[in-house]
Structure 1
């Protein structure tokens, strides 16, 4: 459970008195809920799990969660009405993402000397009732066992994108998600960590956080006024995501703090991204980010995404430090240090680069580029997807567009829109992979000039296969209603007849790939060896883009070639 970071060290006597009074009879309730006879269903052996503000009892096929009668400064549960309200809010909020998991709120009732969950008598407490699931299905456990994969991550991206689009967007207070609120939250976690473990944070991390908070002030306000501060989950680390059959479910959101729940959707996304990166799975983090962006089109989230990732890493570090407070648990401190190291790594702004796909419809560039983006950590910008998006944060409409959408004027306008998005991503220091045909020189030149303006490496990825294979792929794709591309046989014929060949300068920036290979080849580092060598001169190809140094931190590219092409 995420804890607020501004709780006072010393609380007034009145608060301690309220807590002492509220805890009268608490031990009896706690003891009763650990006995199988207190439940109206077979409970078996009860397992008890305690957090800062709650206790969870795993009883048979169900789990029951009650709020502890505590006053921690940031939350006051010393009044039973407040605890009941928090239980109701927990069910309401979590049903948005885990409706089948959260069954409702039940009373803990006293009849004479007997306490019974959901029984007859006088209510003395309230509990959230949930379906119990196999804890081995938590994403954190799947990751440890090496079972977490791109398919499961994509389920999270799909659900999270839909959730963010549908979440309430009218905060109860204007200060929520505002610049001053974000500054205070970042300062609180930094101060708390320094107080608890002063040597844990490198000085450069604090300085980076302070600089970014000032630099992004206008961005934060634009996002807030633009409606991107929404009622989010707020605590979306890997312990709060579970595999359920072939799907994924997200649970245990923040119910006790508006400030931690009403946040930019980018901050909500940042938590699982950070947790994956902290566990050395940059490839899965890349898959999650690309999946979310493809479904939302919210590329405007990127400028502050690193700030939010660093914040989430520092929060998790502080939680780990609190767990070992007063002890010398080396494992907990090691976990805290790992999160701080993750924050420091993310704060080190990498050098971006630009990759441009090149090839006919049916050349395999879309399937191949999806695999490549995940491997190297680039953000993939799909021409087909963005053409069918009405506006940012809208899902793409996969219905076929009218012929006018593919006129020369419309195509040029579309490439201009892709160029504008690419400019924003490069400005935010993200590596970009643009999936478009780029069959016309004027479109290639505009993107190459953009890369030169940002002084970043640029390569053309030429995907090719036989004419027969092109025709077969286009034919099959035309029958798939879920495809974003409208390309058919007639479109392919026009492309073949009107392509403008690469110039010698462009050819110098080109890496060619034959896509007449099994689909599994795209997942292998050796398939991408010609490109990885140019991105990582002298580096190990088999590990490129998996973990460690981000793949875009390279200085081995031919800047002269870029300048001559422009």
Structure 2
């Protein structure tokens, strides 16, 4: 276990300074208890020395191979550890909610017994208090000390997607996730930063973000309510960021969920994704952030959640900004620490502004036979550019109730690729693309698009939304197409089920682009790397120019 200093603990810090209830006796008893528990003999396993780490709401004792977390006897409005019964309950809750993602770390709740002079873990005697027992690990295991990789990002995406998909939704008659419950902490962040910092530079930027938050809330109000009705509010982790993810035995493990306030974890799953993607963006790893978003969405199918993703990313950036603002004003802070917190405050406000910035959405569709490189190119593009990647192979299976890694039976294959299912798939892709574009994200629709009638659906969509459209037409020699299809099928790790028979059928029904479509097309031969490199440079430059033009117009309209 490691020691973290979260926004919630810092919030507690400010509360303690002004609203700490008279608990001198309970805190004195805790002090004596901790003195006793710093003796190695207090533990039922080998301990050489005990190290104590104290936060504003808890104390962690590092003893041998384990860590013991005790809760301070405090009552602070949003948490209540004032009685031994409350502390026991919160210890049990901490173990319960964290075992969902980190069962290997959380050993259970243990009793502290004996008396204040000779207290010990478990054994005989009167129960004095309770603690959460955890498996101890090095701080170097945290993702904040680890180089992020594509493989690690993919693992985390799978963990989060599977975790969220198994959670029950909040009851509709509960107050969890109501629009007002979503807005309230956002406004609290703004007010706390305003109160903590009188710097005109900071206040001006906070005021701009506050205006954007109010405006976005009004626009998103029906969407927030619809997501609640659709079951997007679930008992999540509540605090997923790099500092709460550790590599244990080579596997990422998400721990330290928020146990003390259910409102902080009964949230939209997109808010959880927003925190981690914002945190990764803060490191400058934009490609990995985009990869995480795309992989999570592919696994969950929650493309409609993109409508609120920026909203929650800005909120999460302000939570971090608030942390620095509170620390900036705390007593006994050195000048170096104050400077660091001021710079951190500015950095997170800048990050919030970056999350607000919108690109003009555009619609890209592929065109080409199986094995021509559509999906490979899609993965490359969606890391280098702000694109959402949707695949017909994935969505076709989702419509049929098949998981992405299932290899269909011959009967299922006939059903998957018959005329009716193909039509349904393209209609579904159109709906998904519409949701993504409406949320102001560009989208790459990865499908063969062999028939003109399917391409026409997306030309109509582009006209409806008022966005540019591009066709990426890919080709490769027939022997290479066949070799790629068979190699992918043998590997068995991709959602595509295309085989030699399907490839041959595609050739028979292939409809080349017509003269009108040709005007919007870029033609690539994927076995020629120079073609790909030139195309990547072209599309990146084109999207960048459109983004600059959009934001210039936006800035002009504000002035």
Decide: shared fold, TM above 0.5.
Answer: yes
Match runs of 1:435-450 below 5 Å: 435-450=446-461
* Distance of aligned partners of 1:172 and 1:47 in 2 relative to their CA distance in 1, 3 Å threshold: farther
Instruction: Provide the rounded CA distance (Å) in 1 between the counterparts of 2:368 and 2:433.
Output: 19
* Distance of aligned partners of 1:81 and 1:528 in 2 relative to their CA distance in 1, 3 Å threshold: farther
1:314-345 CA distance string (max 9 Å, x none): 11111233334233422222222222211111
Q: Does 1:152 align with 2:128?
A: no
Instruction: Provide the rounded CA distance (Å) in 1 between the counterparts of 2:85 and 2:546.
Output: 54
Query: Secondary structure at the residue paired with 1:3?
Result: helix
Structure-2 residue corresponding to 1:16: 21
* Distance of aligned partners of 1:274 and 1:10 in 2 relative to their CA distance in 1, 3 Å threshold: closer
1:60-103 CA distance string (max 9 Å, x none): 22111111122222112121211111111000000000011100
Q: Does 1:120 align with 2:124?
A: yes
Structure-1 residue corresponding to 2:188: 188
Q: 1:347 aligns with which of 356, 359, 362?
A: 356
Q: Does 1:504 align with 2:512?
A: no
Structure-1 residue corresponding to 2:287: 283
Instruction: Provide the rounded CA distance (Å) in 1 between the counterparts of 2:116 and 2:248.
Output: 41
* Distance of aligned partners of 1:52 and 1:13 in 2 relative to their CA distance in 1, 3 Å threshold: closer
Match runs of 1:248-397 below 5 Å: 248-324=252-328, 325-326=330-331, 327=333, 328=335, 329=337, 330-390=339-399, 395-396=403-404
1:482-533 CA distance string (max 9 Å, x none): 432222212111212221112334333323333336xxx7xxx994442332
Instruction: Provide the rounded CA distance (Å) in 1 between the counterparts of 2:172 and 2:519.
Output: 56
Structure-1 residue corresponding to 2:526: 515
Q: Does 1:403 align with 2:397?
A: no
C-alpha contact 1:351 1:554 (8 A) present in aligned 2: no
Instruction: Provide the rounded CA distance (Å) in 1 between the counterparts of 2:445 and 2:230.
Output: 26
Q: Compute the displacement of 1:215 (Å).
A: 1.2
Structure-2 residue corresponding to 1:413: 424
C-alpha contact 1:364 1:515 (8 A) present in aligned 2: yes
* Structure 1 vs Structure 2 CA RMSD: 2.7
Instruction: Provide the rounded CA distance (Å) in 2 between the counterparts of 1:440 and 1:137.
Output: 51
* Distance of aligned partners of 1:112 and 1:376 in 2 relative to their CA distance in 1, 3 Å threshold: closer
With structure 2 as the length reference, what TM-score do the two structures score? 0.89
1:356-377 CA distance string (max 9 Å, x none): 1221111122123113212213
Query: How many residues were matched structurally?
Result: 533
Unaligned runs of 5+ in 1: 540-549, 557-566
* Distance of aligned partners of 1:531 and 1:10 in 2 relative to their CA distance in 1, 3 Å threshold: closer
Instruction: Provide the rounded CA distance (Å) in 1 between the counterparts of 2:190 and 2:69.
Output: 31
* Distance of aligned partners of 1:6 and 1:35 in 2 relative to their CA distance in 1, 3 Å threshold: closer
Query: Secondary structure at the residue paired with 2:165?
Result: helix
Query: Secondary structure at the residue paired with 1:388?
Result: helix
Structure-1 residue corresponding to 2:490: 479
Q: Compute the displacement of 1:435 (Å).
A: 1.0
Unaligned runs of 5+ in 2: 1-5, 551-559
Q: 1:553 aligns with which of 547, 552, 557?
A: 547
Query: Secondary structure at the residue paired with 2:68?
Result: strand
C-alpha contact 2:14 2:326 (8 A) present in aligned 1: no
Instruction: Provide the rounded CA distance (Å) in 2 between the counterparts of 1:253 and 1:431.
Output: 33
Q: Compute the displacement of 1:48 (Å).
A: 2.9
C-alpha contact 1:362 1:471 (8 A) present in aligned 2: yes
Match runs of 1:9-88 below 5 Å: 16-17=21-22, 19-88=23-92
Structure-2 residue corresponding to 1:221: 225
Q: Compute the displacement of 1:391 (Å).
A: 8.2
Q: Compute the displacement of 1:273 (Å).
A: 0.8
Q: Compute the displacement of 1:212 (Å).
A: 1.1
Q: Compute the displacement of 1:399 (Å).
A: 3.5
1:373-423 CA distance string (max 9 Å, x none): 12213111011001011489x854634234243233332221111011101
Q: Does 1:535 align with 2:540?
A: yes
Q: 1:3 aligns with which of 2, 8, 21?
A: 8
Instruction: Provide the rounded CA distance (Å) in 2 between the counterparts of 1:475 and 1:423.
Output: 33
1:146-186 CA distance string (max 9 Å, x none): x2111101111101111101113234961110011112121
Q: Compute the displacement of 1:12 (Å).
A: 12
Higher helix share: 2
* Distance of aligned partners of 1:228 and 1:534 in 2 relative to their CA distance in 1, 3 Å threshold: closer
With structure 1 as the length reference, what TM-score do the two structures score? 0.87
Instruction: Provide the rounded CA distance (Å) in 2 between the counterparts of 1:464 and 1:222.
Output: 42
* Distance of aligned partners of 1:8 and 1:282 in 2 relative to their CA distance in 1, 3 Å threshold: closer
